[in-house]
Structure 1
């Protein structure tokens, strides 16, 4: 893929991809040489795996899966969800909890891409990262500071803030 090299062209691409403030993303990539398109696309893909803000179907799905196979993977979650619903917890509240936990994990994984958090001295040189690659998969440039943009890509636009405070 050939990434546009002018701010107007890259802004148009970010806009087509659904970025809020597309000119800021494009300007940063061109002027600061930060691979913002790759950062944006990675985080956008991550957010597609986060429970939707108004999604509740997943609750019944996991309950049904646990009932069908009580010893299966994630059956404990399904059983706990069943107990929570039986106790009167709204499915929407369960979604908010799960969504928050998922986004916290996403943020922590993004931090961990830059700081492995290993404390053992013999592991000092161990590291990993996310990289922009060429068409053959060879690393071109590291993609840094993903954690700074996790909340920016919340599809609701509210950066995980509630719709309204009760």
Structure 2
């Protein structure tokens, strides 16, 4: 397996698994607060109270997680297009890349680019984010 695929597989570890919806009811019990993401519990509780199943919420969380991971991986690989909405001219002088690092020296050994291009193919389900069944509304 190539380094880029190993990294993409690791990214998938950060994306919620739609096969496990047990977390949904636990999150729904969280009280609301003014802390960051303090409305997480109340939002999930409202979704459940409106008849949205825990499985559907888990699938939605996976989709949002994938879209976020894809966007971040794309952002890491395309720093030139990342400044479009910045008013600060200094931002145009910045550049970043994702590097593989030597574990002994901690020095970069090579850039990983195109992670967003392989991310979908590394979906652990093998479905490349396709739904199990077609959902009709």
**Range class of TM-score, shorter chain:** 0.7 to 0.9
Query: Matched residues in 2 for 1:146 and 1:159: separation?
Result: 15
**Cα offset for 1:74?**
2.6
Trace 1:79-90 onto structure 2 (pairs within 5 A). 79-90=42-53
Query: Matched residues in 1 for 2:97 and 2:91: separation?
Result: 16
Extract unaligned runs of 5+ from structure 1: 1-13, 15-36
Trace 1:137-152 onto structure 2 (pairs within 5 A). 137-152=106-121
Extract unaligned runs of 5+ from structure 2: none
**Cα offset for 1:46?**
1.1
Q: TM-score, normalised by structure 1?
A: 0.71
Trace 1:119-130 onto structure 2 (pairs within 5 A). 119=84, 120-130=88-98
Bigger Rg, which one: 1
Residue of structure 2 equivalent to 1:158: 127
Higher relative contact order at CA 8 Å, sep ≥6: structure 1 or structure 2? 2
Which consecutive aligned stretches of 4+ in structure 1 deviate over 4 angstroms post-superposition?
Answer: none
**Cα offset for 1:72?**
4.1
Aligned residues: 129
Which whole-Å deviations, capped at 9, do the CAs of 1:108-138 have from their partners, x for residues lacking one? 1111012221135432220111111112211
Trace 1:1-166 onto structure 2 (pairs within 5 A). 14=1, 37-64=2-29, 66-67=30-31, 70-116=33-79, 117-119=82-84, 120-134=88-102, 135-166=104-135
